[in-house]
Amino acid sequence: MKWLWCWRCRSEMPMLDEVEFKAVIQGFYPQSIEKHKLRWPEVRAEYTRITGYVETNPNAIWHHRLSLYGPPCHKCGKPLRTPKAKLCGSCMAPAL
């Protein structure tokens, strides 16, 4: 887990590495939507256990994953929105 700027949340958030992300979502792929809704408390509880941060929006957990973000911007230091980004989403500086 690493704290990193989230451009969607517009603040520093705890981001999960791949092992942690897999632990949070393990068994989350249910057969129906009803079962899907029942799994949210478990997903949120595991995210809180790993990060120490209580996420109020369970959908945010899906994008709090380190592999979705690129390297830090050379100008502002915030992470690029994707690993293949050509511009920084925060300051619009070109990626190097």
Q: Is residue 54 part of a domain?
A: yes
Query: In a structure prediction context, what are the per-residue pLDDT tens digits for the chain, which is 96 residues long?
Result: 999 999 899 999 999 999 999 888 875 655 555 555 667 888 888 999 999 999 988 788 889 999 999 999 999 999 999 999 999 999 999 998
DSSP string, 29-96: --SSHHHHHHHHHHHHHHHHHHHS---S-GGGGGG-BGGGS-PBPTTT-PBPSSTT-SB-TTT-PBP-
Domain of residue 57, residue span? 2-68
Global confidence as pTM: 0.81
- Is 39 a domain residue? yes
Average pLDDT of the residues of the chain: 88
- The tally of domains found in the chain comes to 1
pLDDT score at 42: 82
22 belongs to a structural domain:
yes
Q: Is residue 75 part of a domain?
A: no
